Amino acid sequence: MSLRINGFDVAVAPTIPLDDPAVGKYDKFNPSTRVIEKGWRQSPEVAAFQADTIFEKDVAITLRDGVKIYVDIFRPSGEEKVPAIVMWSPYGKSGNGPNSLDMLPGRFGVPKDRVSGFEKFEGLDPAEWVARGYAIVNVDLRGSWDSEGIVPWQGEQDGKDGYDAIEYLAQLPWCTGKVATAGNSWLAMCQWFIAAQQPPHLAAIAPWEGAADFYRDTLARGGIPYPYDTMWGFLQNTTIGRNGVEAVTTMLEKYPLYNDYWDDKRAKLDKITTPAYVLASYSSALHTTGSIRGFNEIQSKDKWLRIHPRQEWSDLYKKENSDELSQFFAYYLKGIKNDFPKTPRVRVSLLGFNNDYVENVVVSDYPIPEAKYTKFYLGANGTLSSEPAKETGTVSYDGSYFPKQDDNDSEEVLFSHKFTKPTWLAGYSWIVLHVSNATEDDSDVFVQVRKLDKNGKLVQNLNVPLKDLIPPFNDASEVHNSCFLKYLGAPGSLRASHAVTKIRNSDPRLGDWPQYDHTRREPIAPGTVTRLEVPIWPTGITFEEGESLVVKISGHYMGFMEFEFLAGKSHHNKGVQTLHFGGEYDSYLVVPLMDPINQEATGARGLTQGSM
């Protein structure tokens, strides 16, 4: 089968056949209907269904081009019509597939008895949500599992398919005609594309952490094919289906610059007007910027943003968060006039790293207006100062070096500033650097905003507190070095040859935060000192008196991978890179700083994580 997108012939990779042992659990294709009684559970250790549930398995939906996809529908028994909530991804439906919360020790803080095993990976659990008065529809999108066609990776095709499925479901006799979308990560990313198609019966969306621009947010952040792009290669190579999957990693090798193929994978957020409850966090190496930009750019009159302090699945299945999401859906899907509209439109969290975190801080907007963009100049002896250094200086590192995942690397340079009073860093940062490479015509530059404790030690943040892991862990050293579980700091990156295509920033709230269209590469003569403006992802960090802000700079990605076996499979940098600062070189870091907000006044919560 062939595939074309925006005039481009698209590479197609093979999928894993359904009879392959790597598929894991597969409840074989069997269109059927059964009743699951209240209290029934798949095994003694998992959650029971909380209401009598009609389970319609492998229901066919025919899309506009004749392709059939298959869905599982869980809905309340009885005659009363209910709204539908759609879960959309290629990961398998109703517990199928190899992905699970057991991928790493600790289950990401989600107890086994919190879910039933019928939930779509990263989706809402029908055992809980049918009892809340909704139908849960788990979709095997085009090409995945038993669905026909080739698996797409986001884009307009996915959006049109979602439109067709929503309009089909809205007409079914058990449905009120109100349909929503929900879910985390892939299940969130696809919501931007579906909602942009404006299905008439789409009444609400809940994209809980989803990138919105597949090129800039994930595959080639800063124009660099990331070492962690092996995550997407891993997902591409483990996609399950019958006819193949769009080979995005191959397309990135063929088209490393942004073009109309990649534009198909940038959600048209300005076309979204549906009520939206958007989630973001700092922990994901994939979704932070896309989630926040999604909230800011959608045109929905009714929209909310909550930036939480935990790992995504840990947050997704916390009961208080499900209760709040249920209030949102009750208002927009059932017409229940509850108090959800009084929920603060923007709430943020800040990480204390080895101390604690603060969550649900109410602010008026994001970026936060009270946060002032503050400039710190790079200086001699690794200092960050409010005044530029008068004397020029240099420091070098080996750009070709790629470290093990141990967060302790000699080929990184650090600059730091010690705070004399409690301070919050909240929002988007960027750094201006002057960089030369003596032997190469390009340089990949990576930065990371970190925190030092009062003893001058770099600290890490546990995305799930030790006591919440299943079973609880005693010490952070026991926790896997995975970006799912450990957050080091806000990342930033830029391929120097792409700096020629900077985009004008149309959002004044972002200050001078740099953005690039990555449509052109201009080689740099070896030895040339080039001024680079490197964007850094938004973050939230609390600093106490005596603690320090640090920026790390290197030639390699400095965060942990999703899984340790993915580390270091793609690293493109070469040559020794030299940073120039002071005198004629105005190298500086810009960070959004503010005084701490009174937490009690905003209803914020704080939780102790335990020592790192």
Give the pLDDT band of residue 607 (cuts 50, 70, 90).
very low
What is the sign of the dihedral through the CA atoms of 432, 438, 439 and 441? positive
pLDDT of residue 407: 77
Fold of 4-343: Rossmann fold (3.40.50)
Helix (H) or strand (E) holding 312: helix 312-316
Question: What does the alpha-carbon distance between residue 398 and residue 396 come to, in Å, rounded to a whole number?
Answer: 7
Structure-block tokens of residue 140 = 């095997």
Tell me if 593 sits within 8 A of 371, measured CB to CB: yes
pLDDT of residue 427: 97
Which percentage of the chain shows pLDDT scores above 90? 85
In this structure, how many other beta carbons lie within 10 angstroms of the beta carbon of residue 164? 20
Give the pLDDT band of residue 571 (cuts 50, 70, 90).
confident
Question: What does the alpha-carbon distance between residue 117 and residue 95 come to, in Å, rounded to a whole number?
Answer: 5
pLDDT of residue 356: 85
Q: What is the mean pLDDT of residues 24-31?
A: 93
Give the pLDDT band of residue 543 (cuts 50, 70, 90).
very high
Tell me if 241 sits within 8 A of 19, measured CB to CB: no
Structure-block tokens of residue 586 = 């105005």
Q: What is the mean pLDDT of residues 493-512?
A: 89
The pair phi, psi for residue 302, each rounded to 5°, is: -110, 105
What is the sign of the dihedral through the CA atoms of 370, 373, 379 and 385? negative
Give the pLDDT band of residue 405 (cuts 50, 70, 90).
low
Question: Which residues, in sequence order, are bridge partners of residue 76?
Answer: 53
Structure-block tokens of residue 205 = 């969306």
Tell me if 10 sits within 8 A of 251, measured CB to CB: yes
Helices (H) and strands (E) in the chain, counts: 10, 31
Residue 322 is classified by DSSP as H
Say which residues have a Cβ less than 8 Å from residue 342's Cβ, sequence separation at least 6.
none
Residue 285 has pLDDT above 80, yes or no: no
Give the pLDDT band of residue 68 (cuts 50, 70, 90).
very high
- Lowest mean pLDDT segment, chosen from 249-263, 495-509, 595-609: 595-609
Structure-block tokens of residue 550 = 């640090």
Residue 39 has pLDDT above 70, yes or no: yes
pLDDT of residue 406: 67
Tell me if 325 sits within 8 A of 277, measured CB to CB: yes
- To the nearest 10°, report the CA torsion of 470, 474, 478, 482: 60
Residue 611 has pLDDT above 90, yes or no: no
pLDDT of residue 282: 94
Q: What is the mean pLDDT of residues 434-449?
A: 97
Residue 568 has pLDDT above 60, yes or no: no
pLDDT of residue 227: 57
Three-class HEC string of 248-265: HHHHHHHCCCCCHHHHCC
- Lowest mean pLDDT segment, chosen from 227-241, 272-286, 537-551: 227-241
Domain limits, CATH 3.40.50.1820, in the chain: 4-343
Task: Write out pLDDT tens, residues 322-331.
Answer: 999 999 999 9
Task: Write out pLDDT tens, residues 69-121.
Answer: 999 999 999 999 999 999 999 999 998 989 999 999 999 999 999 999 999 99
Residue 308 has pLDDT above 80, yes or no: yes
Question: What does the alpha-carbon distance between residue 315 and residue 317 come to, in Å, rounded to a whole number?
Answer: 6
* CATH (one of 3.40.190.10, 3.40.50.2300, 2.60.120.260, 2.40.50.140) for 372-608: 2.60.120.260
pLDDT of residue 604: 57
Structure-block tokens of residue 519 = 């449509």
Q: Kindly list the distances between the CA atom of residue 488 and the CA atoms of 80, 316, 564, 592, in Å, as whole numbers in the listed order.
A: 49, 22, 15, 18
When the pLDDT of each residue in the chain is averaged and rounded to a whole number, the result is 93
Angle, vertex CA 101, rays to CA 98 and CA 107, nearest 5: 145
Residue 350 has pLDDT above 90, yes or no: yes
Helix (H) or strand (E) holding 69: strand 68-76
Domain limits, CATH 2.60.120.260, in the chain: 372-608
Q: What is the mean pLDDT of residues 561-573?
A: 71
Q: What share of the chain is helix, strand, coil (3-state, %, to 5)?
A: 20, 35, 45
Angle, vertex CA 519, rays to CA 513 and CA 525, nearest 5: 85
pLDDT of residue 603: 57
Residue 609 has pLDDT above 60, yes or no: no
Q: What is the mean pLDDT of residues 324-347?
A: 97
pLDDT of residue 608: 42
Task: Write out pLDDT tens, residues 147-167.
Answer: 999 999 999 999 999 999 999
Residue 417 has pLDDT above 60, yes or no: yes
Q: What is the mean pLDDT of residues 353-369?
A: 91
Question: What does the alpha-carbon distance between residue 525 and residue 103 come to, in Å, rounded to a whole number?
Answer: 46
- Lowest mean pLDDT segment, chosen from 34-38, 238-242, 369-373, 503-507: 503-507
